[in-house]
A = this chain, B = another copy of it.
Amino acid sequence: MNNQWQETMLAEVKAGGRISDQHIVDMIRQAVLSQRLPPGTRLPEVALGEIFGVSRSVVRKALTRLASYHVITQQPNQVARVCAPDIDETHEIFAARRLVEGEVVALLAGALEPEQCAVLANHMEAEKAAYAEGDESARIEHSLAIHHYLADHAPNRILGKMLSELILRTSIVIALYKQPSLASCYLVGDHDTLLACLRDGDAEGARRAIDQHLASLEQLLDLRAQENRIDLAAIFGKLGG
């Protein structure tokens, strides 16, 4: 049933106070990232309006913005759906992120204050602790915090914004294609070498570290999944029709 996430959101709405389009954007984005809203989920405007207690006007604005972030897809006269990038697009997203994040950390190398490095180091320790405890969602949260910190402090704000969006899209495809069996073993170590390069002002080393980190991440995904998914979809389609 897809009433699950609706209830979750409703609860948050009841708890919180007034709801604006930005809140809706944030909540839907979070719900997508945490896989409470699986890719392909239909997002009818009236239903969302009832859930959040606002009218379609506000929902539409939120959906428009979510579409510009590539969280959902909107086609004329059709209901909005949660994005489900295909394998090709996934590779392209990773390639773009390698380029942008590589440049960001290269610019950042040697430009970070000691306390900023400390913030990063804290997140990395927390990430390792979460990994040791097997708390995967906490590990992911800290990992995201690291990368978002890099994006937010990029000397070039345009590249920073780009990186933020790419981190979001990367998270979506990871949620989509990650094979549950494989653990994120190497990834934690990558962050340490990155931090070392940032401290030393080794721009090219930082770029390489990020590049390798993202390559490892991409390796963890199941790119054969395409066949499986298509088969399943076809089967269910036949059964349902």
Contacts and interface: CB of A to CB of B under 8 A. Distances in A.
B64 A158 contact: no
Interface stretch (A37-45, A89-97, A123-131, A137-145): A89-97
A153 interface: no
Interface residues of A, number: 18
Interface string A187-207: 000000000000000000000
A218 interface: no
Interface string A79-110: 00000000001001101100110010000000
B157 A95 contact: no
B64 A156 contact: no
Contacts of A156: 92, 95-96
A179 interface: no
A136 to B, nearest CB: 27
Nearest to A100: B99
A96 B165 CA distance: 15
Interface in A175-192: none
Contacts of A99: 99-100, 103, 159
Contacts of A36: none
Contacts of A61: 60, 64
A68 interface: yes
A30 to B, nearest CB: 20
**List of 5 A-B pairs having minimum Cβ-Cβ separation, nearest first:** A68-B68, A96-B158, A92-B156, A92-B158, A64-B64
